[in-house]
Structure 1
Amino acid sequence: MGGSVGSAIPKLYARASGSKFWTDDGSEYIDCTSQAWSLGVGACHPFVMQAVKAQLDYFTHVRTNFDTVPKLLLSKKLAEIGPGDLKRVTYSLHGTTAVEGAMKLAMRNRPGRKYFVTFWDGYSGRSLATIDMTYPHPTPFLNYTGNKLRVPQPYCYRCPYGMTYPSCKLFCVDMIGKLIENSLDGQPVALLMEPLQASGGMIPFPKPAYEAIRQLCVKYDMLLIWDEIQTGFGRLGEMFGADLYGVVPDILIFGKALGGGFPLAGSLQSERLKGFEPGDHSFTFGHFPPSMVAGLATLKVMEDEGHLANCRKMGTFITARLLELKDRYEIIGDVRGPGLMIGIELVRDRKTRERATNEAVRFVEEGFRRGVLFGHSKYAGLGNVVKIKPPLVITEAEAERVVQVFEEVTEVMSRPASRAQR
């Protein structure tokens, strides 16, 4: 068993509510993983649960070629909140098939092409089609894949070109074009990216990079696909990363938090694109009615309870406290946001920035012993970033406890930073 925190939690998950869960022995924990980003409105939100229970009395399943009131209402709502001209909707039950759907749609609109451009440390899923575009993945399956060009991302803390932003003038984006021109035997289909790399290390890019990447896509006539499965529905303090960064992709993939704990994913697509042909992308349970109802209820809860504002407020609160700790402890190399998508990069030395990978594994374990479940980048033993991504409903008291535990664990594991290294 495994996941974003590495190995299985050594207790039975028994029940959950809001930002907390309890194990079979009665122990209480603050969940800073949102259970793989899926509980943005908190666990078992009463309004979401009531809506789903009501739907169960009508019907639970239809084939995907049947329209239902929940599906039509959710599609209408998503078209209303979708950035720019992203007004067409396609559904699936989980993010990986949503990513594959976006890839299929891109290939429909760029016939004859086969290559996708992706970033180092990106995460796109674990199916045979998507695993090839996920940060170097420890897998025996890569001989099945290969139609991708993986390029360095604008990772300013660890610039792959040894430069410093903004004096670099986004050299990394210019290099993407050169790599396309010199590495492929044809034009690429699309550039597939996360607006903020989540599983790969909570890596945001400089804001001007987003528009520069968009213009690069125009230059090479490739579609821009944003995977917002982990960033969408309020995680960054806006409904979508596209809203925050001011760039509208051709396809925006969503999932996880929309379902409020129920499986639901899909994509929003530009009206300029040619749609799917019959049979291109449909699945038996792809339009699961209880999930559609859960999605509608989740969006209403977000609006009624002001989750975006709370995300910005609590994100600012937690990040400010973490930056104070960074001034005191050498092990904290970088603190990244925005919103409640916070990554803390652990290092063994501030100057060399040597990754504290084993320490990150221990950090999550020590936090769990103290009643807070932190996340871990990549897989246990591969990443050195500790993740704080609680439900958007986290209270100030809960956020204070999270920071306290973070400080306790940091104190146990590290030594004070010298003034010269601050």
Structure 2
Amino acid sequence: MLGGGVGREMPLVVKKARAASLWDMNDKEYIDCTSQAWSVNVGHCHPAVMAAVSEQLQNFTHIRTSFDTVPKLLLAKKLSELGPGRLKKVAYSLTGSDANEGAMKLAMRNRPGDMFVALWDGYYGRTLATLNMSWPHPNNRFSAWGGPKIRVPQAYCYRCPFGLSHPSCALECVRFAKESILKNAAEPPVALMMEPIQGSGGMIDFPADYYPAMRKMCDELGMLLIWDEIQTGFGRVGDWFAANIYNTTPDIMIIGKGLGGGFPMFGILAREDLKSFEPGDHSFTFAHFPVSMAAARASIQVIEEENLLERSRRIGKLFSDALNAMKDKYELIGDVRGPGLMIGIELVKNKVTKEPAREEAHAFVNEGLKRGVIFGESKYLRLGNVVKIKPPLVISEAQVERVLEVFEEITRSLTT
């Protein structure tokens, strides 16, 4: 294989996947706590999604973007209904990277200039423009290529870059961000681009008052606010979008992963009063793939009919409560964070110094596989010490108990 994937190869060959489980060539079952890059929120091969795809395959598989199709219009209608606030305009993509680039283009259609603002530890994709916006990986020579940007620290309260504590800090990170932008930009930047919860950067969520404060800063400086909700959307955080949880609506929002029910489906939601793309601005041959659109509509219907938003909150609380109890018992567990089923556990060698336990996080993945559980690992950037638990929203309570049992077994083995 030519390679180019993110992260190392997993030492198993997948034969079958259903709901929250995978099976290898030896028919060994694994509980999938990664939803395969956080993408199969309704579970692997959900019958309703498979039926919708099968039906669409009988009609047509490809129509170029110049044409409207029934799947395209029906999905756009549903997404505009789900979009928070005034996010009623819809555009489609097949990857998160091109959706993020599309959001940048759309922002430049609506604001002068070409400078953007990004947060430390952000991640937006692997194309040249999105790598440029993402926090630079030391081993990636492509990260330095791209347009002008300003990077500002985020509200990473567990490791505050200012050495302060929330809420007594009075959101020093927001004040610093505003000052940095004013000093480094001759004119207002086009937009601030951020994830409401940083996934690849370490499962970093922010205090509730940070979101409206950043919204206010963008408004005061005349910038647009772009949220990348590719990982947080469609039930992952216990609501349709993180914007609903944090009562903050961006001007442009990128969606995907859990939307497609296991099929490639990404998109952009934008404020209804923003200028739209001009013809040719952002179009790809298979961008309006009707099979993925049928899968996406079915996936949304499953989330609604099976009440998976509430289930994400409830099952997420089971995980978080148990993991926080373990945090009180084990020196290795420094922090447990994230709403719903978007959970990150930061491992440290010492709770006082907070020295990152990178080797231990790496060991979690290997030891989990031996025990039939697939954990995620944050290997991006400088830390690489966060274990991720982001299973399909349909994971059973029996599987939750097994995952927690395995997690504690591994934690105990790494601390003795």
Which TM class, normalised by the smaller chain length?
Answer: over 0.9
Distance 1:27-1:381 versus aligned 2 partners, 3 A rule: farther
> Helix, strand or coil: the match of 1:125?
coil
Asked if 1:141 corresponds to 2:137, the answer is no
Q: Which amino acid aligns with 1:120?
A: W
Task: Show the counterpart of 2:200.
Answer: 199
> Helix, strand or coil: the match of 1:252?
strand
Distance 1:308-1:330 versus aligned 2 partners, 3 A rule: same
Task: Show the counterpart of 2:406.
Answer: 405
> Helix, strand or coil: the match of 1:15?
strand
Deviation readout 1:32-82 (Å, 9 max, x if unpaired) = 000001100000000100110111111000010111111111000001111
Q: Which amino acid aligns with 1:336?
A: R
1:7 offset after TM fit, Å? 1.4
Identical columns (%) = 59
Contact 1:217 1:223 in 2 (8 A): yes
Contact 1:357 1:381 in 2 (8 A): no
Distance 1:143-1:159 versus aligned 2 partners, 3 A rule: closer
Task: Show the counterpart of 2:279.
Answer: 278
> Helix, strand or coil: the match of 2:126?
coil
1:272 offset after TM fit, Å? 1.5
The CA distance in 1 between the partners of 2:25 and 2:178, in whole Å, is 53
Describe how 1:369-408 pairs up with structure 2 within 5 A: 369-379=370-380, 382-408=383-409
1:28 offset after TM fit, Å? 0.4
Contact 1:3 1:379 in 2 (8 A): no
The CA distance in 2 between the partners of 1:388 and 1:69, in whole Å, is 36
Q: Where does structure 1 lack aligned partners over 5 or more consecutive residues?
A: 416-422
The CA distance in 2 between the partners of 1:88 and 1:167, in whole Å, is 39
1:142 offset after TM fit, Å? 3.2
Deviation readout 1:340-376 (Å, 9 max, x if unpaired) = 0000000011100001112111111111111100001
Describe how 1:244-259 pairs up with structure 2 within 5 A: 244-259=245-260
- Normalised by the size of structure 2, how large is the TM-score? 0.97
Deviation readout 1:117-174 (Å, 9 max, x if unpaired) = 1111111001000001222223112342241111100000000000000000101011
Contact 2:135 2:381 in 1 (8 A): no
Moved more, 135-144 or 316-325: 135-144
Contact 1:358 1:381 in 2 (8 A): no
The CA distance in 1 between the partners of 2:147 and 2:76, in whole Å, is 34
Moved more, 361-370 or 161-170: 361-370
- Normalised by the size of structure 1, how large is the TM-score? 0.96
Q: Pairwise CA RMSD of aligned residues?
A: 1.2
Asked if 1:153 corresponds to 2:154, the answer is yes
Describe how 1:38-187 pairs up with structure 2 within 5 A: 38-111=39-112, 113-137=113-137, 138-187=139-188
The CA distance in 2 between the partners of 1:371 and 1:61, in whole Å, is 39
Q: Which amino acid aligns with 1:304?
A: E
> Helix, strand or coil: the match of 1:79?
helix
Q: Which amino acid aligns with 1:16?
A: A
The CA distance in 2 between the partners of 1:398 and 1:146, in whole Å, is 46
> Helix, strand or coil: the match of 2:106?
helix
1:383 offset after TM fit, Å? 0.9
The CA distance in 1 between the partners of 2:310 and 2:282, in whole Å, is 36
Task: Show the counterpart of 1:420.
Answer: none
The CA distance in 2 between the partners of 1:291 and 1:213, in whole Å, is 34
Distance 1:146-1:282 versus aligned 2 partners, 3 A rule: closer
Task: Show the counterpart of 2:356.
Answer: 355
Contact 2:87 2:270 in 1 (8 A): yes
The CA distance in 2 between the partners of 1:69 and 1:350, in whole Å, is 55
The CA distance in 1 between the partners of 2:144 and 2:330, in whole Å, is 43
The CA distance in 2 between the partners of 1:103 and 1:340, in whole Å, is 29
Q: Which amino acid aligns with 1:73?
A: L
1:382 offset after TM fit, Å? 4.8
The CA distance in 2 between the partners of 1:380 and 1:140, in whole Å, is 14
The CA distance in 2 between the partners of 1:50 and 1:256, in whole Å, is 19
Contact 2:251 2:271 in 1 (8 A): yes
The CA distance in 2 between the partners of 1:381 and 1:120, in whole Å, is 11
Q: Where does structure 2 lack aligned partners over 5 or more consecutive residues?
A: none
Task: Show the counterpart of 2:233.
Answer: 232
1:185 offset after TM fit, Å? 3.1
The CA distance in 2 between the partners of 1:384 and 1:143, in whole Å, is 25
> Helix, strand or coil: the match of 1:344?
strand
The CA distance in 1 between the partners of 2:144 and 2:388, in whole Å, is 31
Contact 2:201 2:380 in 1 (8 A): no
Q: Which amino acid aligns with 2:221?
A: Y
The CA distance in 1 between the partners of 2:147 and 2:363, in whole Å, is 35
1:208 offset after TM fit, Å? 0.5
Q: Which amino acid aligns with 1:195?
A: P
1:3 offset after TM fit, Å? 5.9
Q: Which amino acid aligns with 2:259?
A: L
1:26 offset after TM fit, Å? 0.9
Contact 2:202 2:380 in 1 (8 A): no
Task: Show the counterpart of 1:35.
Answer: 36
Distance 1:102-1:153 versus aligned 2 partners, 3 A rule: same
Contact 2:132 2:144 in 1 (8 A): no
1:195 offset after TM fit, Å? 0.5
The CA distance in 2 between the partners of 1:253 and 1:319, in whole Å, is 27
The CA distance in 1 between the partners of 2:382 and 2:184, in whole Å, is 32
> Helix, strand or coil: the match of 1:129?
helix
Moved more, 55-64 or 358-367: 358-367
